[in-house]
Structure 1
Amino acid sequence: MTTHGPVMPIWSCGGCDLPWPCPTRRRELRAEYADAPVSLALYLGAYLIQAAEDMPWAPAGTLHRRFIGWTRQPSEVQQRSTATVPSAPDRDERHQAG
């Protein structure tokens, strides 16, 4: 069992006193949920809701990044697909066509 659990209602780490989840706990969680990233996000989402209730002054975006935003690796972020739009013919092509 980890010593890096949350100390509520201030949401600091019981092991290192950093904001929870601390870097150590994040590494542990990544390893524990390596094959279940959605489960990790759901698990942390439950903590996010509780933290938002305990810290109503904290901006929602900050809490989201702290609890869930770090769970996706940059390589996991899917590239948006964009439709290929044909480029406008350049000036020389227009003159040759006419």
Structure 2
Amino acid sequence: MEDIYKKRYKQQVQPVIHKKVKVEMRKNLKEARQRAGMTQQQMADKLEISLVYYQKIEQGSRTGDFVLWDMLEDITGVHQRILREISNNHLDKESNPLAH
């Protein structure tokens, strides 16, 4: 019986992230990291987090906290609103400030 409650709790608490959101978040972070000339490991080291945790953030399966996004903004020089962009506004190269 306890497992049923845990399963329901996880379903209610876990945020639903659509595939497009994951792709967009990963794309913006990846492009910003690459423009900064950093590997995922180097970025994780700079943020003082594990490689796996950074990879999950870049993939969109983890969100990270506000301090982390502030640090990402400082490191990449890209505003965190763009790094965390979840709309389809920056899918084409012309409107994406990272795709120059």
Q: Same fold (TM over 0.5)?
A: no
Identify the structure with the greater helix proportion: 2
* Structure (1 or 2) with the larger CA radius of gyration: 1
Q: Which has the higher contact order (CA 8 A, sep 6+)?
A: 2
| More strand as a share of residues | 1
